[in-house]
Amino acid sequence: MGGAGGPPVFYVGLGLALASSAFIGGSFILKKKGLLRLCRRGRARAGQGGHAYLQEWLWWAGLLCMGVGEAANFAAYAFAPATLVTPLGALSVLVSAVLSSTFLNEQLNVHGKIGCILSILGSTVMVIHAPQEEEVSSLESMAEKLKDPGFIVFAVCILVSSLLLIFVVGPRYGQSNVLVYVLVCSAIGSLSVSCVKGLGIALKELFSRKPVLKEPLGWVLLVCLVICISVQINYLNKALDIFNTSVVTPVYYVLFTTAVMMCSAILFKEWQHMVLHNIIGTISGFLTIVCGIFLLHAFRDVPFTPDLLPLFLQQGRADLHASSRSADRHQSCQHQPLLPSEDKGSQSTEEEEDEEGESV
- If DSSP states are collapsed to H, E and C, what string results for 286-344? HHHHHHHHHHHHHCCCCCCCHHHCCHHHHHHHHHHHHHHHHHHHHHHHHHCCHHHHHHH
Q: Is residue 215 classed as helix, strand or coil in its secondary structure?
A: coil
Q: What are phi and psi for residue 2, nearest 5 degrees? A: -80, -15
Q: For residue 193, is it within any domain? A: yes
pLDDT number for residue 22? 86
CA–CA gap between residue 290 and residue 55 (Å, rounded):
36
DSSP symbol at 43: P
Cα torsion through 225, 228, 230, 232, rounded to 10: -130
CA–CA gap between residue 289 and residue 292 (Å, rounded):
5
Q: For residue 340, is it within any domain? A: no
DSSP symbol at 5: G
DSSP letters for 123-155: HHHHHHTPPPPPP--SHHHHHHHHT-HHHHHHH
CA angle at residue 15 from 145 to 110, to 5 degrees? 105
Q: For residue 311, is it within any domain? A: no
Rounded CA Rg of the chain = 31
pLDDT number for residue 113? 80
Is 126 in contact with 278 (CB distance < 8 Å)? Answer: no
CA–CA gap between residue 221 and residue 224 (Å, rounded):
5
pLDDT number for residue 310? 63
Q: For residue 88, is it within any domain? A: yes
Is 255 in contact with 186 (CB distance < 8 Å)? Answer: yes
Q: For residue 48, is it within any domain? A: no
Q: Is residue 6 classed as helix, strand or coil in its secondary structure?
A: coil
* Overall number of domains in the chain: 1
Is 255 in contact with 178 (CB distance < 8 Å)? Answer: no
pLDDT number for residue 261? 82
pLDDT number for residue 315? 61
CA–CA gap between residue 173 and residue 176 (Å, rounded):
5
DSSP letters for 286-298: HHHHHHHHHHHHH
Domain hosting 208: range is 80-300
pLDDT number for residue 344? 47
Tell me the CA distances in angstroms from 1 to 10, 26, 56, 281, 326, one per residue in order.
7, 28, 43, 13, 57
Q: For residue 43, is it within any domain? A: no
**Count of beta carbons in the 10 Å neighbourhood of residue 191:** 23
Q: What are phi and psi for residue 56, nearest 5 degrees? A: -105, 125
pTM greater than the 0.75 cutoff: no
pLDDT number for residue 7? 57
Closest by CA position to 202, among listed 260, 136, 154 = 136
Per-residue pLDDT of the chain (360 residues; tens, 9 = 90+): 444 445 566 677 778 888 888 888 888 888 877 777 777 766 655 555 555 666 677 778 888 888 888 788 777 877 777 777 777 777 777 787 778 777 777 767 777 788 888 888 887 887 788 765 556 767 888 888 888 899 999 999 999 999 999 999 988 998 888 889 999 999 998 898 888 888 888 887 887 778 778 888 889 999 998 999 899 888 988 888 888 776 787 788 778 888 888 888 888 777 777 788 888 888 888 888 888 877 876 676 666 666 665 665 556 555 655 665 665 555 555 545 544 444 444 455 555 545 544 444
Is 249 in contact with 86 (CB distance < 8 Å)? Answer: no
Is 300 in contact with 111 (CB distance < 8 Å)? Answer: yes
Q: For residue 239, is it within any domain? A: yes
Q: For residue 71, is it within any domain? A: no
CA–CA gap between residue 335 and residue 104 (Å, rounded):
52
Total count of residues recorded for the chain = 360
